[in-house]
Amino acid sequence: MDVTPSAIAVDAGGSSTRAVVVSRDGNCGAVIRGGPGNPVADPDRAAATIAQVCAAASGASTQRPHLVVATVAGILSRDFPQLPPALAHQGLPSRVVMVSDLLGAYFSGTTAPEGSVLIVGTGAVAARVTGGRLSAVRDGLGWLLGDDGSGFWIGHQVARAVAADLDGRGPATTLTSRVLAGLDDVVRRSGLRTPDLAALLTWSQTRPPVELARFAVMAAGEAERDPVAASICGRAAEYALATLASLPGTEEGPVVMGGSVLGEGSPVGRQVYACLGARARRVSDGVAGAAMLAIRELGGSTDDASLARVVQALRG
């Protein structure tokens, strides 16, 4: 049994939860993955999921972690008191450090104590890090009030553009056939409307609005040949950059970019990356940052070499 002090690092997001045991000197165990750990909708269930994933990570390690460092989505505007008892219930350490998943993403891309992070997935949020802590946040307000340029926003613009095309109010777009092919079987009642428009209307009336985010990938796919798709992606990139620019002090330090809409294959990601230049660093998730925060809590070294080693180990 290794006696170097160690911790469980866990990154709990809206689509998955990942945990790993990390020692003070940066040795990492196996990364364990589980279901969604965002506590906004159902905190009890999220806490149970996170605790199960942590227990599996602990079981897969030869180390005996005495600390849990959790980076958690959705805790900016609410507490998450359900997590510590759920961890205790799994026989895990009672000492829990819980911070926003924005810090997990940020420290997955940099060791700088000051900088910015921009995450554009289904939602869109930017934050400033000062002295290693969050000092300001912009947007992340949800699809109704904000999330400018997010996957939901893009998908919503796609759906409205397709509706306008089918309705004779907007320009023809290749997005229309893509979206119609993606609808499940729906009743195509029409009357004075075309059957395709009636189908889209019925679909929209029977699904939660947030499902429109699934059309975002179609905008990315059509952006090189369809002006409507290109315009939507261009506006999304402008929104993301404007949200970033509204942070105090954001012209200084690195900018860590995360989220599916800012990925390498995305025209939005390419445009944002091109504007930010050498300051930009892409990350694919936040578990490396959670591990770096855990090493910091354990008193280990958190320099660039440590981050590179952790990132390398988590890939392996």
Residues forming contacts to a copy of itself in the complex (CB under 8 A) are 76-78, 127, 134-139, 141-142, 144-146, 148, 156, 159-160, 163-164, 167-169, 189-193, 197-198, 200-201, 204-205, 209, 212, 242-243, 246
Cα separation, 162 vs 176, in Å, equals 5
Do residues 236 and 161 touch, judged by C-beta distance below 8 A? no
Of the two residues 18 and 156, which places its CB atom closer to a copy of itself in the complex?
156
Closest to a copy of itself by CB, 152 or 263: 152
C-beta of residue 88 within 8 angstroms of C-beta of residue 277: no
| Residue with smaller CB distance to a copy of itself, 286 or 300 | 286
As to burial, measured by CB atoms within 10 angstroms (0-12 exposed, 13-18 middle, 19+ buried), residue 77 is exposed
Whole-angstrom CA distances from 67 to 10, 84, 93 are 11, 11, 5
Compute the least distance from the CB of residue 163 to a copy of itself, in Å: 4
What spatial distance separates the first Cα and last Cα of the chain, rounded to whole Å? Answer: 22
Output the smallest distance, CB 229 to a copy of itself, in A. 17
Residue 187 CB, nearest distance to a copy of itself (Å)? Answer: 10
CA angle 246, 216, 277 (to 5 degrees): 45
Q: In whole angstroms, how close is the CB of 159 to a copy of itself at the nearest point?
A: 6
Please report how close the Cβ of residue 155 comes to a copy of itself at its closest, in angstroms. Answer: 11
Determine the Cα–Cα distance for residues 312 and 175; give it in Å rounded to an integer: 39
* Angle ∠(245,38,307) on CA atoms, nearest 5: 60
Q: How far is the CB of 72 from a copy of itself (least distance, A)?
A: 13
Rounding to the nearest 10 degrees, give the CA dihedral for residues 227, 230, 236, 241: -120
Distance of CA 95 to the CA centre of its chain: 26
Least spacing, CB of residue 135 vs a copy of itself, in Å: 8
Residue 211 in contact with residue 122, Cβ under 8 Å? no
